[in-house]
Amino acid sequence: MTTPSLAAAQSQPEPPRRLVIASRESRLAMWQARHVQALLRERYPQASIEILGMTTEGDRVLDRALSEIGGKGLFTKELEVALADGRADLAVHSLKDVPMVLPEGFTLAAVLAREDPRDAFVSTRYPGLEAMPAGERVGTSSLRRAALIRRRFPGLDVQPLRGNLDTRLGKLDRGEYGAIVLAAAGLKRLGLAERIRSVVPETLSLPAAGQGALGIECLASRADILAWVGALADPPTWVQVSAERMVSRLLGGSCRVPLAAYCVAAPAGGLRLRACVASTDGRELVEADEHTDGHDIPSAEALGERVAALLVERGARELLPPGL
């Protein structure tokens, strides 16, 4: 994958006549696709903007953890096939679900403005993790969340929880879990912010790389799509997630790695990047926190490289699964 440029095309081609957006068919994924559809319709009112809904392997296999069945790429592969064979022009993803290295021939055309990147505590019984008694069940689909919760609250019974957002909330409401931990962004985008009992502070659960951001993917050869869709990009978000994704890329970032990386604009200017790698049981943790004065993608990626190197120096490799 080639590092994307925020100025994908200096010369704008003729406005599109028709664009097809590939999307997973979950309620959240369709919200995201319709959000991009609305932005494109506003910018190109004469164009026909359609959505091609698809079910991915990651949506179909719900009885096993993602790390056991192929990882994040299971949410994007079918959409990429639709791009390659011309059924769709672009695909919309939750950026945290996008592999750190895209297949040859594909690229990110834009990263949109970020929603709340934090984790959300959802429960019908308790106001927060600290209020849960020992032995109570907490559900999450994320190794990162599970490891960080186990580290701070070793008495809780942290269990895997797969399925789309409505499926997970349904399991909570049926009493299968005392609480579940989800991305705050998804709940807010679907108008379910009232389900959030509390937002998990970053000091307890640092966000995943790209969490809360939307990424738009297309064929790297489609200069027209890069130009049309690039106009939707949010440069600050794109820069920040570039730092995060570089850390994850260099440390084999996937659903098999309890890794967090979160970059923000530093108060004094430039960027601040915090990252950590944990053991799956949460007993061990290595952290890094670095700053750069730069505020473009090359500076962000260099910052990510520096933070990844610090994590390795502090023992991160020893915490990663064999083969990564």
Q: Is 157 a catalytic residue?
A: no
Of 59, 97, 116, 119, catalytic: 97
Amino acid 40 reads L
* Whole-angstrom distance, CA of residue 211 vs CA of residue 189: 13
* Whole-angstrom distance, CA of residue 186 vs CA of residue 173: 18
DSSP-derived letter for residue 224 is H
Cα 130 to the chain's mean position, in Å? 26
Tokens describing residue 169: 């909330």
DSSP-derived letter for residue 98 is S
Tokens describing residue 110: 């834009």
Strands (E), the chain: 18-24, 48-54, 90-94, 106-111, 119-122, 137-140, 157-160, 179-183, 198-200, 214-219, 259-265, 271-278, 285-292
Active site residues: 97
